[in-house]
Structure 1
Amino acid sequence: MLQLTPMQIVGGRTLQGEFAVQPSKNAALPIVVAALLTREPVRLHGIPRLSDIYTILDIVAHLGTRHAWEGPNTLVLHTPEILNTETPYSLVSKMRASFIVMGALLSRAGEATVSMPGGCAFGHRPVDQHVKAFRAFGVELDEEGGNFEARRVAPLSGSYSFEMLTVGATQNAVLSAALGTGRVVLKNASIDTDVIDMIGFLNSLGADIQGAGTHEVVVTGVAALRGGEYTVIPDRIEAGTMMIAAAATRSRLTLTGVRPGHLRALSLKLSGMGVNILEQGSTLSVDATGGLLRPADVVTGSFPGFPTDIQPQMSALLATVPGESVVTDGVYTDRLTHVMELSRMGADIKVSGYTQTIQGMPLHGAPVKAADIRAGAALVVAALAAEGQTTIDGMVYINRGYERLAERLRAIGANAVQAEPVLASAMD
């Protein structure tokens, strides 16, 4: 069960010290699903204890996975047999990333029934690219009543060129072909860090997947995968959120346990605004104490472009920067739930289509409510920068993406309080 209380932040304080970035939720989720492909145990290091992780663990437990935590962020998974090939709507409706269990089940069991996935309350994000890729490889797939029924009737083979860059469909297609005797070619594949990490995990277990990090990925099926041990990459979205928070509060902050190359688009944008960014190995320092920041124009794109997952946070920062900024998000065009809430805090944001025109000015505290994970993070950024107290409701979303956030913010000087959520899984 999940017990939730609002977060209260008294803003206007500068942040200081070191912030240890959590492991990547978005990379961990598909790796947990990918562990379905082996009968042997796997040990995963760097798994954040977030509600989305508990949701995916409930899903794979339904399919036959046993799990055990070793310490705070190490997880052992073991799926000796697939017990079910159908995922209930009550679970997959909570999170869009759950749809990639279809590829894993096709690979391991030859069949799958998966409901249309759910997740954050913004935009219509179809699964047509997943379906088209499966059919191109010979999968028989039907949809009825919101359920997709898929069957592998022969070794998967063939080629598919994605009509757009898509992380989830690339991952799903890779998973579907990793086991077996076929060979598939994915063109216009995503080069996102989460795709690369999942492929790295699978190859560490003996998969034959070539081309990770390029737009052409070739998957040659193998008979079986072995067990193993793997460490998940750091969370570039949390790192980006904290870089933006440092800039919004005009602070000096050091982030540890990061991969600066994953954050280059944001680093360049912040540098252009007048923030000093210093990269040293797995450490990144952000210094926004040097004077007035300049407004900026931001256009989101697929990796290595500016991430849509930090667009709302960037909008919150720009709402504090004097002058006019323009933010355009063509990746998720309805990702605008933060705008109305920021306006309650005094932000001047006008929306036309999927473009925000922002006139920067001082913000003030107010009662606000998050409607999705990253909009919630934007409200945290704004609250840290604002004068007075902000009460943030809708913590169910923020807790999906950020582990023990109030506690970790206090450690770097913020006045942030939340009764931390209690997470429990039936498998613990």
Structure 2
Amino acid sequence: MNSSSSLPDAKSPLEADSSVLQIFGGHPLRGHVRISGAKNSALVIMAGSLLCSGDCRIRNVPFLADVERMGQVLSALGLRLTRQDDILDINASELTTSKAPYELVTQLRASFFAIGPILARLGIAQMPLPGGCAIGARPVDLHVRGLQAMGAEVQIEHGICNAYVPGGHGRLKGARIYLDTPSVGATETLMMAATLADGESIIENAAREPEVVDLANFCNAMGAKIYGAGTSTITIVGVSKLHSIDYSIIPDRIETGTFLVAGAITRSEFSLSPVCPDHLIPVLAKLRDIGVTIIEEAPDCLRILPADVLRATDIDTLPHPGFPTDMQAPFMALLTLAEGDSIINESVFENRLRHASELNRLGADIRVKGNTAFVRGVPKLSGAPVLGTDLRAAASLVLAGLAAEGITTIQGINHLDRGYDRLDMKLQQLGAKIIRIKETSTDVELLANNGTPLNSTAL
């Protein structure tokens, strides 16, 4: 089986912003792919390390641009970070400032989650409003109202969220908090803040995602008292301090799902591990509806088999345990080649169907009305130049390119590198014909005509 160490040495994902991917479609995939640690766990657990005044060792950390940016945010706050392969050591004993740098936080939404731990540790926090993928409004009002319920004074001025606990470096107070929507970010922010608060906090209508459970397990391993993570009601009993920890992040369920779709769309057979099948129940169910056979070879290993026929199906995205919004775009790519008509309703984010027009450039037949996409299956896709507009949209174009006839060129892969650990390299190991090209104006012109770039290099 392949491991992360069998991949070429990881370069900084932040260096790949000006690259494009070129895919020569129509090649089956085979072998084994190692699934990396969960992006959404890694980012919030890195923020959670702020709660501990000692050392935190985090294992199974993926190589992602977002992870690097979060590391830069923590370094700017005074933390010491060192990395060896997929092991990240963080020391937060010298948390020296309560103010995170604007230029970093505005590039990474997850960095805003650090406001809870900083406020819990220092009694004061200054956090710029966050950035990230442009997939719809994701306001921080739930975070703010929750912190206010715990006794914090919070004001937003000039794009900065200023929060402090009255009375100097006082502690937050336990509170009962109801979330209007089961926001993952708000649940995680408030859960972290409550770990060091005085008294008991209860979060109702909490997010139930596996990454929330992973964060709770991380905090509990440091000495926190969190109960009910994974249900809609989470109870946190505040403690005075947390201790050092050695912790391993769960496998990425969205990366797992993306590779399963890659196998389905290319009619391939290969295995994936480590995985958590319980985190993938709606994804596995939909793949089987479409006609894909998936075998559980071991508790943490799946094998996908080629499908004779891909069938249309309908999808409604929902908060966990419903069908994940992050898998909507990859499944749209798959359904473009299914027999019949499919309907995809995006109910989580209001601006997350922009990949439909790019898939149509590859020969798909998709109509979008509001937050609903109507997908009519076509016999084949054809390579063309396309643009990834967000993380999962870029992934859907890679998947479509793997199945398309001819050459597909994808720009905007800086989005891809935010959330997939060396996706192109892993696909290469499975037999895909995919190369990463340093983008120049000359290359773009040639790629637009499916020509050969002058200075292409496969990583």
Q: Could you tell me how far 1:164 is from its partner in structure 2? A: 0.9
2:57 to 19, 40, 43: 43
Q: What amino acid is aligned across from residue 26 of structure 1 in structure 2?
A: N
Q: What amino acid is aligned across from residue 348 of structure 2 in structure 1?
A: V
1:147-185 alpha-carbon deviations (Å, 9 max, x no partner): 111112353222011111111000000111111423211
Residues of 2 paired with 1:259 and 1:91: CA distance? Answer: 32
1:160 — aligned with what? 177
Residues of 1 paired with 2:268 and 2:164: CA distance? Answer: 54
1:364-386 alpha-carbon deviations (Å, 9 max, x no partner): 00001111110000000100011
Aligned pair 1:400/2:388, yes or no?
A: no
1:418 to 430, 436, 439: 436
2:9 — aligned with what? none
Q: What amino acid is aligned across from residue 13 of structure 1 in structure 2?
A: H
Aligned pair 1:368/2:415, yes or no?
A: no
2:451 — aligned with what? none
2:276 — aligned with what? 259
Residue pairs, 1:109-258, within 5 angstroms: 109-153=122-166, 154-258=171-275
Aligned pair 1:377/2:395, yes or no?
A: yes
Residues of 2 paired with 1:155 and 1:256: CA distance? Answer: 41
Aligned partners of 1:404 and 1:420 also within 8 Å:
no
Q: Could you tell me how far 1:398 is from its partner in structure 2? A: 0.5
Residues of 1 paired with 2:174 and 2:54: CA distance? Answer: 26
Match of 1:416, SS state, is strand
Residues of 1 paired with 2:183 and 2:384: CA distance? Answer: 37
Residues of 1 paired with 2:258 and 2:427: CA distance? Answer: 12
Aligned pair 1:316/2:316, yes or no?
A: no
1:306 — aligned with what? 323
Residues of 1 paired with 2:270 and 2:337: CA distance? Answer: 18
List runs of 5+ in structure 2 lacking aligned partners.
1-13, 440-459
1:66 to 62, 77, 80: 80
1:424 — aligned with what? none
Aligned pair 1:29/2:47, yes or no?
A: no
Aligned partners of 2:152 and 2:172 also within 8 Å:
no
Q: Could you tell me how far 1:420 is from its partner in structure 2? A: 8.7
1:93 — aligned with what? 106
Aligned partners of 1:7 and 1:395 also within 8 Å:
yes
1:343 to 352, 360, 366: 360
Q: Name whichever of 194-203 and 14-23 sits farther off.
A: 14-23
Q: Could you tell me how far 1:297 is from its partner in structure 2? A: 0.2
Aligned pair 1:10/2:24, yes or no?
A: yes
Aligned partners of 2:22 and 2:437 also within 8 Å:
no
Residues of 1 paired with 2:187 and 2:306: CA distance? Answer: 38
Residues of 1 paired with 2:116 and 2:262: CA distance? Answer: 37
2:289 to 262, 272, 277: 272
Residues of 2 paired with 1:245 and 1:50: CA distance? Answer: 20
Q: What amino acid is aligned across from residue 26 of structure 2 in structure 1?
A: G
Match of 2:426, SS state, is helix
Aligned partners of 1:274 and 1:288 also within 8 Å:
no
1:81 to 90, 94, 105: 94
Q: What amino acid is aligned across from residue 63 of structure 2 in structure 1?
A: R
2:427 — aligned with what? 409
> CA RMSD of the aligned region, Å?
1.3
Aligned pair 1:56/2:73, yes or no?
A: no
Aligned partners of 2:20 and 2:438 also within 8 Å:
no
Residues of 1 paired with 2:349 and 2:260: CA distance? Answer: 22
Q: What amino acid is aligned across from residue 387 of structure 1 in structure 2?
A: E
Residues of 2 paired with 1:394 and 1:83: CA distance? Answer: 36
Residues of 1 paired with 2:437 and 2:245: CA distance? Answer: 37
1:425 — aligned with what? none
Aligned pair 1:327/2:344, yes or no?
A: yes
Q: Could you tell me how far 1:199 is from its partner in structure 2? A: 0.7
Residues of 2 paired with 1:176 and 1:268: CA distance? Answer: 36
Match of 1:69, SS state, is strand
Q: What amino acid is aligned across from residue 385 of structure 2 in structure 1?
A: P
Q: Could you tell me how far 1:81 is from its partner in structure 2? A: 2.0
1:51-78 alpha-carbon deviations (Å, 9 max, x no partner): 10000000011111101112x1001000
Residues of 2 paired with 1:343 and 1:180: CA distance? Answer: 51
Residues of 1 paired with 2:62 and 2:264: CA distance? Answer: 25
Residues of 2 paired with 1:25 and 1:158: CA distance? Answer: 29
Q: Could you tell me how far 1:409 is from its partner in structure 2? A: 0.5
Q: Could you tell me how far 1:146 is from its partner in structure 2? A: 1.4
Residues of 2 paired with 1:371 and 1:309: CA distance? Answer: 14
Q: TM-score, normalised by structure 1?
A: 0.96
1:20 — aligned with what? 34
Aligned partners of 1:252 and 1:285 also within 8 Å:
yes
Match of 1:418, SS state, is strand
Residues of 2 paired with 1:114 and 1:60: CA distance? Answer: 12
Aligned partners of 1:92 and 1:116 also within 8 Å:
yes
Aligned partners of 2:387 and 2:411 also within 8 Å:
yes
Q: TM-score, normalised by structure 2?
A: 0.89
Residues of 2 paired with 1:276 and 1:155: CA distance? Answer: 51
Task: Spell out structure 1 runs of 4+ moving beyond 4 A.
Answer: none
Query: Identical aligned pairs, as a percentage?
Result: 39
